[in-house]
Structure 1
């Protein structure tokens, strides 16, 4: 038996439509044959030729693998029992789904209107996981008519997507490290180029350890976890938080393998780590103060870090990027941030150079003065 499936599609037309009327040529044809009793009369009612209707019926029979008409010489053409059941079932389904079809039609009409509205802008952002960005998306939508298509990925994946043209803006985070960091420099430096990329200030946030209420194991830092029985849940390689942890253990001279669970199954977001600790699957994990609060956990601060948005230099004048910067600089956005523990505004909407915002990078700008950030 041939595999058969249902394919739905819609179209944009010059004329408007009201209600949930749907047309399908097969059911229009079957209804016409049942009503008029012959292919010839059905063809006339549909404004088509006898040959066209005949050929269409044969194609539908081949597709469905069932006969649709009963032919008896001297008698009107009749639908087969299969065709009758099919027509009845489609009518019943169409009637039952009418409210949903109308809602879909109205929503698609709204989408078309928004697309035609020159004041509405769309901005694709691929960013390292953050709890403030969904609030930024909501604020931009209501205040600036800016629709942010927000997707989360690791910092490395986000910057790679920007380089490949898969987003207009990327988000990543790093701590201010004036003394330098071989861990961050090795991973980040190849992905960002002074003079090519521009940073946009976003927020400053606190990273730390999320532990059970009351911190029953008395954990105050990574050194307390090293060599202990505490079960640690890590973040995925390539995420900004994982890079931060790699930097911190390297700076403290801690052997990562001495932390129980360091190389086990990682989580891909702050809330996933918080959920693992809250459910008792782990004793401690890295994350944000806001994520700890959300799951009723205690929080041990470790380091402040800066969350940047970044785009290509020539995208700074893009209307959607300009609206994004306006949102980040607004008083309303600063008030929204105040509701998130561990967050604070930080150069919101300002254009920052790589060499100034990331002084630990140690770019050799003297050799290439034309590439000033």
Structure 2
């Protein structure tokens, strides 16, 4: 059975009908109505050679004859050609409402591109519940976030490679100069090249079963026999945070059963714990509450957005800053479990050295 492919055209105004056009069907219809290839070509505004060649090509592609090619006779469709036109009329009549709805959906989507007051900002970021809320809220104001979640390290690398306009990553409030976070992000961020934008202040901790039946109250409790942990992917900000907390606690990866078991997001980790596939996993409080889990706070951290300094004055970034500085966003942030709007500095452009006190260009260079 042959397959169908759909395409569309952008034009200042719609055509005279609402059908999905197909050039082969148009030619077959013209031949049937006009009785000759030359008259069909004139009716379609095409050359005889183009119509004749196209019909021959389609016959070869379909493996069936479309036209009765008798010399000196009126051109007519084969039985197969007639059945094709009949089948298309049936399909067009049956699907007309769906076709019109699809056309309207596509037109509405493209209307954003022609609206000078609307903006699209490509954002690669570490998984975060507040970013999902921001995407929904900003869209109503004409700011559309093309949001793709990935590890913090990969997100900043994508920014530096020019694959996105902005990246999102997170780190503890005051990580030490020789912390895992400092070692991870220092080489990726450069004063004078990058600009930080405050976004959120959030709580990370251990997501555990409801009422915490295993009495998991700290990282040290993960060493107990039988406790199954579920981790985040290498390069994610939460994996960086875990390794930092383990180092501070004098623990190693081998102390945790399941350190090598990974999930791609906070939501996926929460689902693993909720389903009983794991007993604990590090993540944000919002994800734990959404799945009805218990939560053991371990660290406060700041979620930063970062862009190139050259992109700061562009309309999409300026629209984002206005949205983040608005009262509606502050209320949204305060309503999310584990997030605090007062300390978030949302929408404020921050000094790289001030916001990340472990970052020192001279020391890093040395």
Q: TM-score, normalised by structure 1?
A: 0.91
Residue in structure 1 matched with residue 322 of structure 2 by the alignment: 326
CA distance in 1, matches of 2:105, 2:359: 48
Instruction: Tell me, yes or no, if structure 1 residue 63 matches structure 2 residue 50.
Output: no
CA distance in 1, matches of 2:286, 2:347: 22
CA 1:50 to 1:305, structure 2 compared with 1: closer, same or farther past 3 Å? Answer: closer
Residue in structure 2 matched with residue 301 of structure 1 by the alignment: 297
Secondary structure in structure 2 of the residue aligned to 1:100: helix
| C-alpha deviation, 1:295, in angstroms | 0.4
| C-alpha deviation, 1:59, in angstroms | 1.8
CA 1:312 to 1:53, structure 2 compared with 1: closer, same or farther past 3 Å? Answer: closer
Q: Which stretch of the first structure deviates more once superposed, 315-324 or 273-282?
A: 315-324
Q: 2:150 aligns with which of 149, 153, 160?
A: 153
CA distance in 2, matches of 1:150, 1:23: 34
| C-alpha deviation, 1:8, in angstroms | 2.6
Instruction: Tell me, yes or no, if structure 1 residue 273 matches structure 2 residue 247.
Output: no
Partners of 1:181 and 1:247 within 8 A in 2: no
CA distance in 1, matches of 2:160, 2:41: 57
Unaligned 5+ segments in structure 1 are: 369-373
1:22-80 Cα offsets, whole Å, 9 max, x none, are: 32221111112223433344344434454443222212212222111224566543322
CA distance in 2, matches of 1:361, 1:99: 59
CA 1:230 to 1:75, structure 2 compared with 1: closer, same or farther past 3 Å? Answer: same
1:336-371 Cα offsets, whole Å, 9 max, x none, are: 112211001211111111111111234427999xxx
1:217-272 Cα offsets, whole Å, 9 max, x none, are: 000011001143111011000000000001010111112111111113x0010000
- The alignment covers a number of residue pairs equal to 364
CA distance in 1, matches of 2:17, 2:43: 24
Residue in structure 1 matched with residue 123 of structure 2 by the alignment: 125
Partners of 2:176 and 2:182 within 8 A in 1: no
Q: 1:217 aligns with which of 189, 214, 217?
A: 214
Q: 1:360 aligns with which of 326, 350, 358?
A: 358
CA 1:187 to 1:66, structure 2 compared with 1: closer, same or farther past 3 Å? Answer: same
Q: 2:225 aligns with which of 223, 228, 234?
A: 228
Partners of 1:257 and 1:263 within 8 A in 2: no
CA distance in 2, matches of 1:196, 1:349: 19
CA distance in 1, matches of 2:179, 2:76: 80
Q: TM-score, normalised by structure 2?
A: 0.93
Secondary structure in structure 1 of the residue aligned to 2:337: coil
CA 1:360 to 1:32, structure 2 compared with 1: closer, same or farther past 3 Å? Answer: same
CA 1:18 to 1:340, structure 2 compared with 1: closer, same or farther past 3 Å? Answer: farther
CA 1:183 to 1:56, structure 2 compared with 1: closer, same or farther past 3 Å? Answer: same
Partners of 2:206 and 2:281 within 8 A in 1: yes
Residue in structure 1 matched with residue 167 of structure 2 by the alignment: 170
Secondary structure in structure 2 of the residue aligned to 1:191: coil
Unaligned 5+ segments in structure 2 are: none
1:146-172 Cα offsets, whole Å, 9 max, x none, are: 111111110001000010011111000
CA distance in 2, matches of 1:24, 1:47: 15
CA 1:367 to 1:185, structure 2 compared with 1: closer, same or farther past 3 Å? Answer: closer
Partners of 2:186 and 2:364 within 8 A in 1: no
Q: 1:107 aligns with which of 100, 105, 108?
A: 105
CA distance in 1, matches of 2:348, 2:218: 33
Partners of 1:226 and 1:254 within 8 A in 2: no
RMSD of aligned Cα (Å): 2.2
Residue in structure 2 matched with residue 371 of structure 1 by the alignment: none
